[in-house]
Structure 1
Amino acid sequence: MEVVVRGESRILAPVIAASGARYQLPGDPDTQFWGKGPLATVIWSGEALPQCAPAGTVIPPFRASGNEPFWAVDYDGWQLTLREPGKPPRAVDAQVLETRPDGQTIGGGDGQKALRLRVDDGICVDSMSGMPRPQRVTLQEEGESRQGCGGDPSRLLQGAVWKVVEMSGKQVATDPSTWISFLTDGKIAGSTGCNRFFGAYGLTGEGLVIDKVASTRMACPPAQLESEQQFTQHLLAVRGFDFDDSGALILNGVAGDLRAVADASAQ
């Protein structure tokens, strides 16, 4: 099997697996592909990449929620569990009832106990926290429909190299480029346009926090060093994220916003 990551091609050979189809780079157990049903896990030189799935797939464990009044649904691949304030959790055995090009419907139970959760790809911003999520959801219960958002917000950040093009509305030099990559283990890596950096990020109930940033200490021209300092100040002040109409990532912060676009050449 040929696997291409960030423009690099590697040929993997099949190996024995307890379940699914597993492939590994000969002589390198830290590079492998493991497919189970519609989902696949790729480890590339020891780096775990975001889980691969066809467009519209609901990836367990999946959580969706809505407001006014608040509700939350969890799907673990076997059951849908509905939680509402002041009521005991309600769980039903569930399965995929419908698969569409951009979504799926999960459901279980009969009659008044039936739960249906329609999930469609598309950025959905939580009306209370402002947190973007990767999917829009509709919960159907007892003849009523409730709207909400679902999926892991980190999937909106991971799997791309984000090339910074603006800081506080001002254009950033593109040669050399400033970029950020959000990894699956809660770490970030990138370049300030002068030095390589790494750090950590976390998603809270209401936003995005970046900290523990460190970098190499290469000597660079004064203009690049000034840009690096401004970028680092912006990065450490990030408190949330969003996307504009063009699909660019907006990292919102108290020092100003960073605007970044996915670098297709680095995928």
Structure 2
Amino acid sequence: MPSITIKGSVFILATMLLSGCALLSPADKTTTDYQCGASEFSVLQQEQGVLLSYGAEQEVLPGAVSASGARYSNDKEPVTQYWSKGNEADITWRGQEMPLCVERGTLPKHFTARGNEPFWQVAVNPQHMALTTPESEAIIDLKPAEVVSEQPYEWRIESTTNKHLIVIDRLCRDSMSGRLYPYQVDLQESDRMYSGCGGDSEWLLQGAKWELSKFEDYALHSKPATIQFLEDSQLAGFNGCNRYFGNYNMGGELAQLRITGSTKMACSDAANDLSRQFSDVLERVYQVNIDDKGRLILSTRGGRQMVFKQQNN
């Protein structure tokens, strides 16, 4: 192999840089991770567009015309699209619209939080928070959220008064209603601290297809029962025999899941029994939980449970 002098190497490198032919190493490319409800996406910037990854699946998306933000689309059917808007994004994955996607390490631009004993509630946007207590209501100017720690992420949002917010990326259950929320939120006022929960309960469940992994002693077949929490409080899934649809409501003191219709396929006796029990438990659910393994647990007052895991792509 012919040798290359240092002088020659410098000349070649300079020529590559000036001609725009220098190659970017993987470390030079920008990857952004998003949390889209229960699902995670990553976006890798490329010269002609982006590489959108969802689990083990990937889509290369070229740039598209957009009135605001940066939009990328494959122009196919079903469509896959990524549209970034600051630290948030709208993502459609092969025809399915994902819930709001928030860049990892940041907070949604708009969220609410509340606490009990004493009651308080805030509605937060990038500039202000509207604070409500039994004694008063106020609109308070805010400073940008500051990350104070990671694993889990913790943010401090200071205001122009003596009231500040501490937000932690940790599941939080309301002390009165039992409702599950994505964030623990503390309202700090001078030397006092009031604890509560924040974010949207529905966001925790949306964006994924949940697959039944454990249900009492029932044998689970190669085509397991599933449940999906869609936008507009719509419910859909497979009960072990037929596809069903319905609605859900995470508000109030009890979770409410209702099946309003299904297909009418004939199945084996075992599949029919599983589907009847699945539907019966689903409509009696009063509490929704997500454990430390990321599994969805639906429970009835009678102690019956169904455990779900996220279905692989």
Partner of 1:222: 269
Give the Å deviation of 1:197: 1.8
Q: Distance in 2 between matches of 1:66 and 1:180?
A: 30
The answer to whether residue 279 in structure 2 is matched with residue 263 in structure 1 is no
Partner of 1:59: 108
Gap regions ≥5 residues in structure 1: none
The answer to whether residue 120 in structure 2 is matched with residue 71 in structure 1 is yes
Inter-CA distance 100–213: structure 2 relative to 1 (3 Å threshold): farther
Q: 1:107 aligns with which of 154, 158, 161?
A: 158
The answer to whether residue 193 in structure 2 is matched with residue 145 in structure 1 is yes
Q: Distance in 1 between matches of 2:64 and 2:78?
A: 10
Partner of 1:95: 144
Contact 2:244 2:259 in 1 (8 A): no
| RMSD over equivalenced CA pairs, Å | 2.3
Partner of 2:210: 162
Q: Distance in 2 between matches of 1:60 and 1:210?
A: 29
- TM-score where L is the length of structure 1: 0.87
Structure richer in strand, relative to its length: 1
Partner of 1:192: 239
The answer to whether residue 182 in structure 2 is matched with residue 131 in structure 1 is no
Inter-CA distance 78–170: structure 2 relative to 1 (3 Å threshold): farther
Deviations 1:94-124 (A, max 9, x none): 3223364313222220xxx233211111111
Q: Which moved more, 1:20-29 or 1:36-45?
A: 20-29
Q: Distance in 2 between matches of 1:260 and 1:7?
A: 24
Deviations 1:153-174 (A, max 9, x none): 112211222222333x434414
Give the Å deviation of 1:223: 0.6
Inter-CA distance 209–223: structure 2 relative to 1 (3 Å threshold): same
Q: Which moved more, 1:221-230 or 1:183-192?
A: 183-192
Inter-CA distance 122–75: structure 2 relative to 1 (3 Å threshold): same
Gap regions ≥5 residues in structure 2: 1-49
Contact 2:241 2:267 in 1 (8 A): yes
Among the aligned pairs, what percent are the same residue? 34
Give the Å deviation of 1:222: 0.7
Q: Distance in 2 between matches of 1:39 and 1:172?
A: 41
Q: Distance in 2 between matches of 1:27 and 1:194?
A: 32
Inter-CA distance 248–172: structure 2 relative to 1 (3 Å threshold): farther
- TM-score where L is the length of structure 2: 0.75
Contact 2:77 2:95 in 1 (8 A): no
Contact 1:234 1:255 in 2 (8 A): no
Structure possessing the higher radius of gyration over alpha carbons: 2
Q: Distance in 1 between matches of 2:105 and 2:253?
A: 25
Deviations 1:229-256 (A, max 9, x none): 1111111122221234544222122465
**Residues paired across the two proteins, number:** 262
The answer to whether residue 230 in structure 2 is matched with residue 183 in structure 1 is yes
Inter-CA distance 52–73: structure 2 relative to 1 (3 Å threshold): same
